[in-house]
Amino acid sequence: MDELKNDWLEWIKALLIAVVLAFVIKTFFFTPIIVDGPSMEPTLHDRDQMIVNKFSYRVNDPKRFDIVVFHASEQKDFIKRIIGLPGEHVAVKNNVLYINGNRVEEPFIDQGQGENFPILENNFTLEEIPGEHDVIPDDHFLVLGDNRSNSTDSRMLGVISRDQIVGKTNLIYWPFDRLRILGE
């Protein structure tokens, strides 16, 4: 009887350790997210399931073109691409991205041209978005969806603070036929 009791205690202890470990990993390191809507097409599709790396930005700074998850509100997280970094001026003219007056190629946008993802005029300057900044403030970022014609992003929300960023995401794990790591 004591042996059976010891076996149960070992199982319970192992289960508690597993639950605590899973909680710590999900809270501080990695968490799943499901893409909601077409704003990141063609790169990400509605209902793609991804892993968010919450640890990456504790040791590295966010970079241009990173795909990030951030708190858009207390109830909702968004997934978008970092376009502008602190201290930069951003403008889009004739659907061409300019950072500090220099043209910047966006290869992830080019793959979306065609019937399914028409490129519409989405011109703006940093001064025209909420906050009316002439450069992006320290510890803030300008984020846009890849599907610029159908995305709620910095053009409506303004620049986002580093504190709003949950983490970086670049691994699609479901659906299985879309399993891939997105390019750096």
Distance CA 31, CA 35 (A): 13
Number of residues that make up the chain: 184
The CA-based dihedral angle spanning residues 123, 40, 86, 27, taken in that order and rounded to the nearest 10 degrees:
160
Distance CA 84, CA 56 (A): 19
Q: Report the amino acid identity of residue 4.
A: L
Alpha helices in the chain (DSSP H): 2-28, 56-59, 107-110, 154-157
∠ CA 176-17-29, rounded to 5°: 50
Query: Is 39 known to be catalytic?
Result: yes
Among 5, 13, 26, 39, which one carries the catalytic annotation? 39
Query: Is 73 known to be catalytic?
Result: no
Among 54, 56, 80, 168, which one carries the catalytic annotation? 80
Known catalytic residues?
A: 39, 80
